[in-house]
C-alpha cells in the first residue's frame, strides 16, 4: 500500500525510478528486520518513507555524479536533521505531489504504450512482474525486460521527475489517461485468453483513476475518465453469464448493475462539468456522458439513443477514429433503424484500421439479422469469430452464426 508513495518520494531525490524502487524495497526489508525487535512505529508509512529517503541521501552522498542534487537538498537536510522525520507524519501534500510526478514519469511519451502500461502497473499498481505478465498473456521474461528497458530509457533520456505545465502538461496528461484507459479496457474485454473479463485489471485502473482525480481536481478530463470507468465497471457483474459467456448490453439484468458505482460515476461526471471551461467537453467526458445515458435508463428500450448519437457525433469531432464511427453506427441503428446504420458500417469496411477488427463484422452481422438477411449475417458472425482472439468471444460469435441458420 505504501510502495507507490515511497517510490515517488525517493524518486524526487535520486531522479531515477529504478533506483527509487530498489531503495523502497530496502526500506521494507529494514522494517522486516527491525520491527519484530523494536515494535511497529506509530506511523509505519512515515517510518518507511524516512528510511528510504535516508538511504537515498546516503546513496547521493556516495556518488559524485549526484553532487549537484546533494547540494540542492543540503539546506533541507541540515535543518531537519538526519532522523528527524522518523517520528513525524509525512506531509500528505508533499506525498501527493511526488505521487503525481511518478504518474507522469511512468507514463512519459518517450516510452512505448506497452512499456507505459507495464511500468505504471509495477510502480503504481503494486503488481509483481508475474502478475502483469499473466494479465497481458506476455511471457514473464519478456515483461521483465520491458520494465527494465523502460527504466533505463527514462534514465538515458534524462526525463525530469516533474509534473509538466502548460502545453506540455496537456500533451503528457493525454498519455497518462490513455494508459489508465487501456489497462481498464483490457480488464473489461480481454483481447485474448480464456476469460472475457479480468476484474483485477479493472480494479487497478479504477483505483489509479480515482487517485489521479484527487491529485488533479481541476482537470475535467481526469474526472471524465474516472466517471467513465466507474460507470463501465458498474455493469461488470451483468456482463457474463453463469458459464462466463458474454452477455450483450440489451440482454443484461440491470438489477445486477452496481448502483454505488453508478452514483460515483454520476458524481465524477458532475465534477468534470463543474470544472470545464470553454471549448466544450473532451473525449473522456463525452464517453462518460454516453455511459451515463445507459445508466440513467431503467431498461434497454428506454435508452435515449438520440442523445447518444449526438454525443458520438461530438466525440467524432474531438477524437475522430473509425471505432468511434462504428459505435455511432450502433447508436444510429437504435435511433433510426438498422438500414440507416448499415450504410454507415458499409462505409467503414475499407478502413485499414478496421481490417482485422472483429467487431466490424460482428456489428454488421447484428444489423443484417435485424434486417432479416440471416444468411449474410451468419457469414459475418463466422468471419468475426475468425478474427476474435478471446475464446469466450469466439464461442459467442460462432453461436450467433449457428442461430442465424435456425432462423432461415
The predicted-structure confidence for 162-175, as pLDDT tens digits, reads as follows 888 777 777 788 88
Give the confidence band of 278 by pLDDT, cuts at 50, 70, 90.
confident
Cβ(28)–Cβ(38) under 8 Å?
no
Could you tell me where the DSSP H helices lie in 192-282? Answer: 199-215, 220-233, 259-275
104-118, 253-267, 333-347: segment of lowest average pLDDT:
104-118
Residue 402 has a pLDDT of 92
Residue with cell 524495497: 25
pLDDT digits (tens, 9 = 90+) for 45-79: 889 999 989 888 888 777 655 455 556 666 555 55
Q: What is the pTM of this model?
A: 0.75
- Chain-centroid distance of CA 131 in Å reads 16
**Helix axes 322-336 and 305-318, enclosed angle (nearest 10):** 160
Sign of CA dihedral 247, 249, 253, 258: positive
Amino acid at each position: 500500500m505504501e510502495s507507490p508513495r515511497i517510490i515517488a518520494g525517493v524518486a524526487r531525490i535520486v531522479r531515477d525510478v529504478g533506483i527509487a524502487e530498489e531503495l523502497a524495497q530496502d526500506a521494507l526489508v529494514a522494517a522486516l528486520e527491525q520491527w519484530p525487535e523494536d515494535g511497529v512505529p506509530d506511523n509505519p508509512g512515515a517510518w518507511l518513507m524516512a528510511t528510504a529517503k535516508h538511504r537515498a541521501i546516503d546513496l547521493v552522498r556516495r556518488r559524485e555524479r549526484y553532487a549537484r542534487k546533494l547540494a540542492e537538498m543540503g539546506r533541507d537536510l541540515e535543518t531537519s536533521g538526519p532522523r528527524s522525520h522518523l517520528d513525524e507524519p509525512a506531509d500528505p501534500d508533499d506525498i501527493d505531489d511526488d505521487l503525481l510526478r511518478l504518474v507522469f514519469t511512468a507514463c512519459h511519451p518517450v516510452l512505448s504504450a506497452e512499456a507505459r502500461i507495464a511500468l505504471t502497473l509495477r510502480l503504481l499498481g503494486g503488481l509483481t512482474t508475474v502478475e502483469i505478465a499473466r494479465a497481458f498473456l506476455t511471457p514473464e521474461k519478456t515483461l521483465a525486460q520491458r520494465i527494465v528497458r523502460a527504466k533505463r530509457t527514462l534514465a538515458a533520456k534524462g526525463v525530469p521527475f516533474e509534473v509538466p505545465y502548460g502545453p506540455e502538461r496537456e500533451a503528457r496528461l493525454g498519455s497518462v489517461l490513455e494508459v489508465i484507459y487501456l489497462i481498464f479496457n483490457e480488464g473489461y474485454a480481454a483481447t485474448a485468453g480464456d476469460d472475457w473479463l479480468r476484474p483485477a485489471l479493472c480494479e487497478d485502473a479504477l483505483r489509479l483513476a480515482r487517485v489521479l482525480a484527487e491529485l488533479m481536481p481541476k482537470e475535467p478530463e481526469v474526472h471524465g475518465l474516472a466517471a467513465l470507468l466507474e460507470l463501465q465497471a458498474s455493469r461488470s457483474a451483468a456482463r457474463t453469464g453463469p458459464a462466463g459467456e458474454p452477455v450483450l448490453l440489451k440482454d443484461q439484468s440491470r438489477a445486477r448493475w452496481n448502483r454505488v458505482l453508478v452514483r460515483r460515476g454520476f458524481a465524477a461526471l458532475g465534477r468534470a462539468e463543474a470544472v470545464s471551461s470553454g471549448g466544450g467537453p473532451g473525449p473522456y467526458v463525452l464517453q462518460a456522458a454516453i455511459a451515463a445515458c445507459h445508466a440513467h435508463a431503467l431498461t434497454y428500450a428506454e435508452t435515449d439513443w438520440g442523445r447518444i448519437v449526438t454525443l458520438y457525433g461530438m466525440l467524432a469531432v474531438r477524437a475522430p477514429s473509425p471505432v468511434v464511427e462504428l459505435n455511432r453506427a450502433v447508436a444510429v441503428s437504435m435511433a433510426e433503424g438498422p438500414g440507416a446504420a448499415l450504410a454507415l458500417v458499409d462505409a467503414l469496411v475499407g478502413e485499414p484500421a478496421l481490417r482485422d477488427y472483429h467487431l466490424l463484422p460482428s456489428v454488421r452481422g447484428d444489423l443484417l439479422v435485424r434486417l432479416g438477411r440471416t444468411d449474410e449475417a451468419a457469414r459475418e458472425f463466422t468471419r468475426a469469430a475468425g478474427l476474435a482472439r478471446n475464446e469466450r468471444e469466439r464461442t459467442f460469435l460462432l453461436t450467433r452464426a449457428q442461430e442465424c441458420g435456425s432462423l432461415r
